[in-house]
Structure 1
Amino acid sequence: MFPVILNIPRQAPATPLFDQVDGVADLRMLKPALLPQLAYELRLALLYSVGQTGGHLGAGLGVVELTIALHYLLDTPNDRLIWDVGHQAYPHKMLTGRKKAMLSMRQAGGLAPFPKRDESVFDTFGVGHASTSISALLGMVLANKSPLAHHIAVIGDGALTAGMAFEALNHMAHCQANALIIVNDNDMAIDANLGGLATFLDDHHGFGGPSQWFTALGFTYRGPVDGHDLPQLMSIITELLSLPGPKLLHINTLKGKGYGPAESDPVGYHALAKIDPIEPVIIKKSPTYAHVFGQWVCKKARIDGRLMAITPAMLGGSGLESFSKEFAERLFDVAIAEQHAITLAAGMACEGAKPVVAIYSTFLQRGYDQFIHDIALQNLDILLAIDRAGVVGEDGATHTGAYDLAFLRCLPNVVVMAPSNAAEATAMLNFGYAYCGPVAVRYPRGEAIEGLPLLAPIELGRGQVIRSSGKSNAIAILNFGALLDKLTMVAEAADATLVDMRFVKPLDEMLLKQLLLQHNGFVTIEDHSCIGGAGSAVSEWLVQQKTSVRLLCLGHQDAALPHGTREQVLHNTGLSKEAITAKINAWQAHLPAE
């Protein structure tokens, strides 16, 4: 009935029916026969807004009919509706009073890229990491005082691969909670969904499939059904909402539905950058840190058959595409299962392999217990390649890698490094791979500066002096990580010594002792929380030295970081060149002369 959309609108499209819907009350006034037209216009509006702001596209296009059906049938926000992950929640935001603000999505001061409780009463649970929806929903069911309220969670087949989701399903069945779980099965996470569960949900392999398993667990099961057939979808949801106890609706959807290029390339159109309305200017950019890692891991695998690469559903984001083609038998994409990824690496290391775990900083948090008990305490030989460390920009607080230094440096046996440029990243990966024991190399999202020479080889716990001050009683700026390029002019303006510390653990104590002799102040710089981070490590060391040298720690403050561009967020948290200069000048003015 409605054509497939082939191009992202450059100008606001004509959406006469959608223009009438400013919230769920307007939606519920429409006749059911008009809802397919609304779905078509909602897709047009979604394509236009994401084209202007950038953001996640494919998942939202796939749940347009489901979103309309749920808000049409439910009494949201009195009924509780949780969207797992949040990539699929853009249509939800557009139907719940926020469509006029969509052009501020992911922009500084604008709408958050994920459901957020303080943004709208319709966002019943803040999300960002996958697989939390069923646990949160069950908690709401057990605590809710209104027996008449409906409780619904929408979780994708990718998110369902996490152990947490199965733990919640098990508990929900035990409680016989009156709730509806909708499994949005599009055969995709960010990349193609892999593993036994993906086969299991297929329901065509002759073993009874999900119907038999979920029914045996204690759920009323319906499906799989076409998630784009609005009348059928609304009929089955209505039926399930009338039944008591735990229910599970399994729907099949097409990621990128309605937009031709996204339907044919769901991985490439998982998310979009902004579409520039003017003629683009071609600017040569440096490779990203993920690209540097991807090149390194392939080169290393060619010369060492022990190397095994592990990623928890971050194949593309971590830079492992080329590795997956060249070394398919040595790549282990474990789906959204960070805990399993870490202990899988531990088991490999026990048998003499050299596992390299490519993981985002924010997702490493989910495997922390395993890293403590299964890696650090056993002193196993693994390499963590930690991407997206520090500010990530538009994805906001849930994806900011602000805590890895704090929770890694307190562990025994662990070495932690932070490169400042592309050459140093490669050298640190080589060092970490050759080192026998757990090593973490953490680097940010975005470009890795090229062309800078490696002034000194990587040695355990050794930093390097980039610039020496020409005056006595100078300050020493201690850089940890990829903000070094911002500090060269800062150090020159302040006539300060500039040091690339390289290692967060172990610290270069020999170098720090030398610096104590000629400096009356240290400034630490890190793209990380000030609490517990590299600055804290230096502070602890200075206390042990019983010195009068003053310390200024610059990093993230004790607050969740807002979304915006990486440079905007760095400025807001005091880590732009200008903000660093201003803070150092103000602090330096109060240092004692001697």
Structure 2
Amino acid sequence: MNQKFMYLLGIIKLAVFRRGKMNNLITEIENGRDINSLSHYEMVTLSKDVRELLVEIVHANGDAGHLASSLGAVEITLALHRIFTTPKDKILWDVGHQAYVHKILTGRLDRMSTLRQVDGLSGFPDRRESDHDAFGVGHAGTALSAATGYILGRDLQKQDYSVVAVVGDGALTAGMSFEALNHLGDIGGDIVVILNDNEMSISPNVGAMNRSVNRVRVSPAYRDFKVELKKFVTQLPAGDRLWDEWRRLKRVPRDLMVQSGFWDHLGFDYYGPIDGHDIEILESTLRSVKHFTGKPALIHALTKKGQGVEEAEADPVKSHSGTYWLKAPTSPEKKKRTYSEVFGDSLGKICATDEKVVVITPAMLEGSGLTNLKKQFPNRVFDVGIAEQHAVTTAAGLAASGMKPVVAIYSTFLQRGFDSVVHDVVVQGLPVIFAIDRAGLVGEDGRTHQGFADISYLRCLPDMVVAAPSDDDELSALLSLAIDHEGPIAIRYPRGIAATEISSLKNESLHIGKGALLRPGSDFALIGIGSVIPDCLEVAEEFAKRDISIGVVNARFAKPLDRELITQIAKETKGIITVEDNSLIGGFGEGVLSLLSDLRMGDKFLGSIGIPDMIVEHATQSQQKKICQIDTEGILAQVERFIM
């Protein structure tokens, strides 16, 4: 089913749903009714309508979207838009998966059927898309730091608006979040932080005592009493010291009751835990903290990821992306494996024969194909949460201790751990294996998740080996090769179904820095790396029909390059063209050009094909490849330009 048909089908299905609900509250709000005019009963009804609409939206656009997170944040979002006014007030989302309802309420309902599609709405908040999106986001752990910048800028410019950061889905495991919390507590900024605790990260105790204490703390009478008491006490001799001591002593029993001590010590006023699906409680708490200035406030809201949809509640991890329970049953034919699955299966075989192999991943167990491996070897697979720097340096420590660590991480997230790669792995020459998933173009997650730069930022590191398989067998072989390598090595591979029968490995053994000639050619040569190899072979076949002989080389390694093979190809052909799914800037092609220049054969380098100097927006992977001209058709056109 092609993308255009899916797009039209989505619009039709969404229109049918909305026609059947013409009298619902969503339509009234879209037509201008003030959300603040709704009664409590209408707000509960609106929550139900919004959940139904979310399911329809995600289903209508081909099940692409982060459903469960938004289902769990419905009431929080509705309450926020009742108490605060965007775009004047700034609401920052961490992570952006929660923001679908926010998009619906801020004038984008008619375009929700285009979610995560080419030229459609982003799956995340995007400043270019709407003034109501205060800050763009895709990675976790950014909202609190960005919010800090907002309140500093607001106060320096003497402006008047509220700043709210909605933090959930384990974002508090990100180190940057705690750096921001520490700073916010130090500067005493006027900010509201909502911890959307959907049981995927933090789960403190809840009880009647907690609710009672919190009810007292948010009441205006209690706050006024505290203000007057402080004025009185601080006027006494040694009053400041007496006030500080009284605050310390009064925290002790309360800490035991509501576990707020951590936040108090950071300099936050803590409210909660509260029911994150009770709009009245949410509004009451938000209304209270909005009018108390001078100190950051933390509202701890307990929610259910996937709330209101039985299947999503039952399995919030799988329904996170909205792709697994809405779809029709698949045919019984043999399922093709993804690169992630090939990685997990291959690593499982290695772990079974080598007890020193351990795996570290930053909150990517399922996405990286490690679910079964975790069950097989629970004591050797470590999920450290959204903490990329920690993951890399933990691996470095494991390597220093004599273990063989594999860091399973998405390309886009490895960027966040780059300092640790340099300082803790490369500088010390430690044998850490980086299994880099989602390299290249990733599809609908779009601009924040592209893996376009890993070759560029890894190739420059001394003694770092950078490899990319052309198919499933080569990925398995590269992993086996990497296990006993005595230095750092990175293996990058794309999202999606693994290519098969491309590398022609058979009984060939791999060696670091050695590629393979897949197709001889006497006129020109394409030297490709990784996922573009199948396209290169198709291009060569097309030129053969025109009596132009083009060879295809599978480089396998972006570093070190196969100097011998590249020299041979340069001597035997009229020229070389490189092909990659990485940025042209600093990429594989620049490495080949540098090598040929050193060999005084720079004239044989005809050009590079890869991701141009641009941010690639959300679309399908095939559409993104077409946009970047690294699909078969695009490579063919560029080769024609280089050789004709």
TM over 0.5: yes
Aligned to 1:83: 93
State which of 585, 588, 595 in structure 2 corresponds to 1:541. Answer: 595
Residues 339-363 of structure 1, C-alpha deviations (whole Å, 9 max, x = no match): 0000000111111000111000000
Equivalent residue for 1:454, pick from 505, 518, 523: 505
Matched position secondary structure for 1:407:
helix
Q: Aligned partners of 1:110 and 1:283: how far apart in 2?
A: 33
Could you tell me which residue of structure 1 aligns to residue 177 of structure 2?
165
CA distance 1:304–1:23, change in 2 (3 Å): farther
Deviation at 1:486, TM superposition (A): 1.5
Query: 2:307 aligns to what SS in structure 1?
Result: coil
3-state SS in 2 of match to 1:478 = strand
Q: CA deviation at 1:29?
A: 3.8
**2:319–2:325: 8 Å Cα contact kept in structure 1?**
no
The residue type equivalent to 1:112 in the other structure is S
- 1:101 deviates by 0.4
Give the aligned partner of residue 375 of structure 1.
425
Say if 2:90 and 2:161, in contact at 8 Å, map to a contact too.
yes
Give the Å deviation of 1:493.
2.5
Distance (Å, rounded) in 2 between the aligned partners of 1:583 and 1:17: 53
User: AA paired with 1:560?
Assistant: I
Q: Distance in 1 between matches of 2:459 and 2:451?
A: 15
> What residue ranges of structure 2 are gaps of 5+ in the alignment?
1-12, 211-253, 544-548
Residue 390 of structure 2 aligns to a residue whose secondary structure is helix
Q: Which moved more, 1:258-267 or 1:200-209?
A: 200-209
How many Å separate the matches in 1 of 2:588 and 2:317?
37
Aligned partner of 2:104 in structure 1 is: 94
- 1:339-354 to structure 2, matched below 5 A, reads 339-354=389-404
Give the drift of 1:540. Answer: 1.3
Superposed CA offset, 1:204-235 (max 9, x none): 99856641111122111100000000011100
Letter in 2 for 1:480: I
CA distance in 2 between counterparts of 1:541 and 1:202 reads 63
- Counterpart of 1:513 (choices 539, 558, 567) is 567
Aligned to 1:480: 529
Give the direction of change, closer, same or farther, for the CA distance of 1:201–1:519 in structure 2 (3 Å limit): farther
For 1:239-258, list aligned pairs within 5 A.
239-244=288-293, 245-258=295-308
1:312 pairs, out of 335, 338, 362, with: 362
The partner residue of 1:213 within 262, 269, 273 is 262
Report the Cα distance in structure 2 between the residues aligned to 1:24 and 1:68, rounded to whole angstroms.
Answer: 16
Q: Kindly tell me: are residues 418 and 277 of structure 1, through their superposed partners in 2, closer, same or farther at Cα, counting changes over 3 Å?
A: closer
What is the alpha-carbon distance in structure 1 between the residues aligned to residue 597 and residue 333 of structure 2?
47
Partner of 2:486: 436
> Residues 534 and 153 of structure 1: is their aligned pair in 2 closer, same or farther, counting only changes over 3 Å?
same
Counting helix residues as a fraction of each chain, which structure ranks higher?
A: 2
Instruction: Tell me, in whole angstroms, the C-alpha distance in 1 between the residues paired with 2:578 and 2:16.
Output: 47
Letter in 2 for 1:41: D
Q: Name the structure 2 match of 1:504.
A: 558
Change (3 A) 1:168 1:323: same
CA RMSD after TM alignment = 2.1
In 2, the alpha carbon distance for the partners of 1:432 and 1:497 equals 28
The one-letter code sitting in structure 2 at the alignment partner of 1:463 is G
Equivalent residue in structure 2 for 1:31, among 39, 52, 61? 39
Aligned to 1:74: 84
In structure 2, how many angstroms separate the alpha carbons of the residues matched to 1:207 and 1:313? 30
Check whether the contact 2:478–2:491 (CA below 8 A) recurs between aligned residues.
yes
Q: Which amino acid aligns with 1:291?
A: E
1:208 and 1:296 mapped to 2: Cα distance? 49
Shift of 1:27: 2.3
Q: Determine whether 1:19 maps to 2:31.
A: no
Corresponding position: 1:292 with 2:342 = yes
Alpha-carbon distance in structure 2 between the residues aligned to 1:276 and 1:235: 36
C-alpha separation between the residues in 2 aligned to 1:161 and 1:574? 38
Q: 1:138 aligns with which of 141, 148, 151?
A: 148
**What is the match of residue 196 of structure 2?**
184
Cα distance, 1:138 vs. partner? Answer: 0.8
Give the AA of the match of 1:38.
L
Q: 1:278, 1:409 → 2: CA distance?
A: 43
- Superposed displacement of residue 520, structure 1: 2.1
Contact 1:10 1:48 in 2 (8 A): no
Superposed displacement of residue 256, structure 1: 0.2
Aligned: 1:224 with 2:273: yes
Distance 2:371 2:329 in 1: 30
In the TM superposition, what whole-angstrom CA distance separates every residue of 1:162-213 from its partner, at most 9, and x where no partner exists? 110000000001110000000000121xxxx3xxxx3667799985664111
Separation in 2 of the partners of 1:417 and 1:36?
54
Task: Sort the Cα spacing of 1:514 and 1:133 in 2 relative to 1 into closer, same or farther, 3 A.
Answer: same
Which residue does 1:4 correspond to in 2?
Answer: none
Distance of 1:306 and 1:375 partners within structure 2: 18
Partner Cα distance (2:181, 2:345) in 1: 40
**How many Å separate the matches in 2 of 1:199 and 1:234?**
22
Indicate how the Cα distance of structure 1 residues 293 and 280 shifts in structure 2: closer, same or farther if over 3 A, else same. closer
Counterpart contact for 1:11–1:48, Cα < 8 Å: no
Task: Give the number of the structure whose alpha-carbon radius of gyration is greater.
Answer: 2
Moved more, 39-48 or 262-271: 262-271
- Note the C-alpha offset of 1:582: 1.0
3-state SS in 2 of match to 1:390: coil
2:161 counterpart of 1:149: yes
Distance 1:12 1:326, change over 3 A: same
> Within the alignment, does 1:464 sit opposite 2:516 as a pair?
yes
CA contact (8 A) 1:427 1:458 kept: yes
- 8 Å CA contact 2:71, 2:307 repeated in 1: yes
Offset at residue 277 of structure 1 (A): 8.5
Separation of aligned partners in 1, 2:630 and 2:520: 22
1:270 to 310, 320, 331: 320
Partners of 1:44 and 1:9 in 2: CA distance: 11
- What amino acid maps onto 1:403 in structure 2? A
Distance 1:58 1:10, change over 3 A: farther
Describe the shift of the 1:157–1:490 C-alpha distance in structure 2 as closer, same or farther (beyond 3 A): closer
Equivalent residue letter for 1:39? S
Q: Secondary structure at the match of 1:269?
A: helix
Q: Is the 8 A contact 2:68 2:322 kept in 1?
A: no
The CA deviation at 1:31 is 3.5
| CA distance in 2: counterparts of 1:273 and 1:402, whole angstroms | 25
User: Who is 1:586 aligned against?
Assistant: 641
Amino acid at match of 2:305: K
Mind listing any 5+ residue stretches in structure 1 that lack a counterpart? Answer: 1-7, 590-594
Letter in 2 for 1:509: R
State how many pairs are aligned: 571
Following the alignment from structure 1 to structure 2, what is the Cα–Cα distance between the partners of residues 201 and 355? Answer: 36
Q: 2:122 aligns with which of 112, 134, 139?
A: 112
Matched residues in 1 for 2:627 and 2:442: separation? Answer: 13
For 1:277 and 1:583, locate their aligned partners in 2 and report how far apart those are by CA, in whole Å. 38
- Shift of the alpha carbon at 1:92? 0.7
Specify whether residues 157 and 460 from structure 1 end up closer, same or farther in structure 2 by C-alpha distance, changes over 3 A only. closer
Distance 2:332 2:35 in 1: 44
AA partner of residue 18 (structure 1): I
In structure 1, C-alpha distance between the alignment counterparts of 2:282 and 2:530, rounded to whole Å: 51
**Using a 3 Å threshold, how does the CA distance of structure 1 residues 146 and 18 change in structure 2: closer, same or farther?**
farther
Contact 1:159 1:336 in 2 (8 A): yes
Contact 2:275 2:282 in 1 (8 A): yes
Distance change (3 Å), C-alpha of 1:218 and 1:276:
closer
CA distance in 2, matches of 1:416, 1:217: 42
| Residue in structure 1 matched with residue 576 of structure 2 by the alignment | 522
Q: 2:72 aligns with which of 58, 62, 70?
A: 62
Question: Kindly tell me: are residues 233 and 304 of structure 1, through their superposed partners in 2, closer, same or farther at Cα, counting changes over 3 Å?
Answer: same
Alpha-carbon distance change, 201 to 476 in structure 1, aligned in 2, over 3 angstroms: farther
Does the 8 Å contact 1:285/1:447 carry over to 2?
no
The answer on whether the counterparts of 1:115 and 1:127 sit within 8 Å (CA) in structure 2 is yes
